[in-house]
Amino acid sequence: MNSFIKHSLLLIIFTCSINFNVFAVEESSTNHIESIVLGSGCFWGAEKGYEALPGVIKAISGYADGRGVRPNYRDITQLKNRSNPNNHAEVVKVTFNSQLINLEDLLQHYFESHDPTQLNRQGNDIGTQYRSIILYENDNQKEVAKNTMNTFQALLSDSGYGQIETVLKELDQFYNAEEYHQDYIAKNPNGYCPDHSTGIKFNTNDQIAKLDNSKLQVGKQIVIIEPEGFCPYCESFKADVANDYKGSIAMSFRLASNLEGLNLKTPTWATPTILFLEDGTEVFGYQGYLEPEAFYKFFGAFKLGRSEAYNVAFNEGTDSRFCQEYEIFKNTPDGVFVDKLSGVALFDTRDRFNSSSGWLSFTSPVQNSTYELEDNSFGMRRTEIRSKSSGIHLGHVFPDGPNGMPRYCINATVLEFVLRKNI
Q: How many residues does the chain have?
A: 423
Q: Rounded to an integer, what distance in angstroms lies between the CA atom of residue 277 and that of residue 289?
A: 18
> Which H/E stretch holds residue 56?
strand 56-64
67, β-bridge pairs: none
Q: Rounded to an integer, what distance in angstroms lies between the CA atom of residue 26 and that of residue 300?
A: 60
Active-site entry in 193, 231, 234, 409: 409
Looking only at the bridges linking them, the beta strands covering 352-353 and 360-362 are antiparallel
Q: Rounded to an integer, what distance in angstroms lies between the CA atom of residue 67 and that of residue 84?
A: 10
Active site (annotated) includes residue 234:
no
Active site (annotated) includes residue 16:
no
Q: Rounded to an integer, what distance in angstroms lies between the CA atom of residue 44 and that of residue 271?
A: 13
Q: What is the dihedral of CA 250, 254, 258, 261, to 10 degrees?
A: 30
Beta-carbon contacts of 33 under 8 Å, excluding residues fewer than 6 positions away, are 57, 95, 96, 97, 98
Q: Rounded to an integer, what distance in angstroms lies between the CA atom of residue 174 and that of residue 172?
A: 7
Active-site entry in 42, 193, 231, 234: 42
Q: Rounded to an integer, what distance in angstroms lies between the CA atom of residue 178 and that of residue 372?
A: 43
Residues catalogued as catalytic = 42, 409
